[in-house]
């Protein structure tokens, strides 16, 4: 069974695009060559990951210092 985008021969990725607090992105598919949002059906913020991302902790500490 193939997905609709595969059957239509559309450029897409089956991985999840993870957007980090530092505004960088990466994909869960190790073969992904283009991390543009339009290629990914699933896009999440790194704070939603089950395993906490290091950049959200660093961002929270920097943000806390600015507020103080």
**Domain residue ranges of the chain, discontinuous segments joined by +:** 4-67
C-alpha distances in Å from residue 39, one per residue of 2, 31, 36, 45:
16, 13, 6, 16
**Long-range contacts of the stretch 58-67 (C-beta < 8 A, 24+):** 58/21, 59/21, 59/22
Tens digits of per-residue pLDDT, 22-35?
A: 788 999 999 999 99
Q: Which residue has the tokens 């530092």?
A: 22
Three-state secondary structure call for residue 31: coil
pTM: 0.73
Tens digits of per-residue pLDDT, 41-59?
A: 999 998 888 787 777 665 5
Whole-angstrom distance, CA of residue 44 vs CA of residue 66? 26
């Amino acid at each position: 069974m193939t997905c609709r985008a595969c059957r239509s021969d559309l450029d897409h990725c089956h991985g999840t695009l993870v957007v980090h607090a530092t505004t960088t992105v990466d994909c869960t598919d190790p073969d992904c060559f283009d991390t543009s949002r339009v290629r990914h059906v699933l896009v999440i913020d790194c704070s939603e990951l089950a395993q906490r991302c290091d950049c959200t902790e660093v961002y929270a500490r920097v943000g806390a210092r600015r507020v103080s």
